[in-house]
């Protein structure tokens, strides 16, 4: 089991471009969480998804950010019209169901905005 896979590991974008971050959960896991880590900060919850459903997006900025977890394929975190403040490490975690803990984390995607 390769664990939670995130790609790319590093992503560089210019201001105004779009960033797409991908996360494949562990085999057998159908619940995905996205967290963001700003420099010198702890990880902060963004969104929780099950296959084809967004369950909790209370930590997601209201504009420019969206997430999906389609029936087939990885979960995608999409940031439109990126700004310098979006520079951060974005981590994905997965679990087999809502009540199963702990969450297993990926290596993260480090997003840099020029």
Identify which range of 15-23, 65-73, 80-88, 103-111 contacts another protein by CB under 8 A: 103-111
Eight-class DSSP state of 51: T
> Should residue 108 be labelled a site residue for another protein when binding is judged by CB under 8 A?
yes
Q: Which is nearer to another protein, 43 or 82 (CB)?
A: 43
Cα–Cα distance between 112 and 82 in angstroms, integer? Answer: 10
Cα–Cα distance between 35 and 57 in angstroms, integer? Answer: 11
Whether 92 contacts 23, CB under 8 Å: yes
Interface residue list for another protein (CB under 8 A): 3-4, 33, 35, 40-45, 48, 55-56, 58-59, 91, 93, 98-99, 101-108
């Amino acid at each position: 089991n390769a664990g939670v896979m995130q790609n790319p590991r590093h992503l560089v974008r210019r201001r105004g471009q779009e960033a797409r971050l991908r996360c494949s959960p562990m085999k057998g896991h159908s619940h995905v969480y996205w967290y963001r880590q700003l420099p010198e900060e702890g990880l902060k919850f963004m969104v929780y998804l099950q296959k084809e459903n967004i369950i909790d997006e209370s930590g997601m900025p209201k504009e420019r950010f969206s997430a999906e977890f389609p029936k087939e394929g990885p979960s995608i975190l999409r940031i439109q019209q990126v700004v310098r403040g979006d520079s951060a490490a974005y981590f994905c975690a997965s679990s087999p169901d809502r009540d199963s803990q702990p969450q297993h984390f990926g290596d993260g995607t480090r997003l840099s905005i020029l």
